[in-house]
Structure formats: structure tokens, C-alpha cells
Amino acid sequence: MHEVSIAQEIIEIVKDYLPKNNHVSVKSVRVEIGEFSNILPDALSFGFKVLTNITDMKDTELIISKVPLTVKCRDCENISILDEPFFFCHSCESANVEILTGTELKVIEIELND
């Protein structure tokens, strides 16, 4: 339920890239959301829509790229893609694994309408 806070942070970051005193509209914002980040994409899109609704960004599209949860085994160095968050190496079944991807919460790029 913190998707609205996350949407607000995205908007604040986008504002940093808009030229001052110059009306440029933002076509889209692309974000990366990890599968293990506790963010529901639909709720994030909804939060973004609500927060931008009466602003210059009301037509801005939020594009969400999901990033799978992957772990690297510290014992055998195998990289596993985890469909469910059970943290075991798929090769040697060790629990001694570190997360490589899947916790991302990032703004990747912004597209402006010139």
C-alpha cells in the first residue's frame, strides 16, 4: 500500500529533468520494478494517475518493466531465476545465495514531447 508514496517519488525525480520556464510535456516515464520489491504494478499505475491527474503530467504514461528475482549461489556460483521467493540455489540447493536482481525500484528513462 505504499505505491502512492513511490509514485510521488517518481514524479519528484522526473521534475528534476524538466527545463524551467519552458513548457515541455513528458510523454512517458519508464521505471524498473523488481519482482521482490513488494510493489503491485497496477496500484503503482493507479497512484501515478491520481497524483498526475490535475498537473502538467496528466497525459504522461508510466511504463513499468518488471525485473525477475535472480540469485547467485555463493557456493557453486550458479545463477538461478526464482519464480517464488524460496532462496535456494537451483543447482546445488544451497541456501547461501545473494540477490542479484529483483529488488529494483528505479526510474530508467524519460521521454519528452519536444
Partner 1 sequence: MSLITVERKILEKNDEIANINREKFRFKGMFTLNLVSSPGSGKTSLIEQTIKILKGKLNIAVIEGDVQTNLDAQRIDALGVSVVQIVTNGACHLDAMLVRDAFQKLINIDINLLFIENVGNLVCPAAYDLGEEMKVVIISTTEGDDKPLKYPAIFRNSEVLVINKIDLIPYVNCNIDTIIMNALSINSGLKIFEVSCTSMEGINEWCEYLLYKVKSQ
Contact set with partner 1 (CB under 8 A): 1-2, 5-6, 9-10, 12-13, 17, 27, 31, 36-39, 85-88, 95-96, 99, 105-114
Torsion of CA 101, 107, 109, 113, to 10 degrees: 150
CA-nearest of 41, 103, 46 to 71 is: 103
CB closer to partner 1 out of 51 and 110: 110
Min separation Cβ 97 and partner 1, Å: 8
Q: Which three cell numbers stand for residue 100?
A: 542479484
Min separation Cβ 5 and partner 1, Å: 7
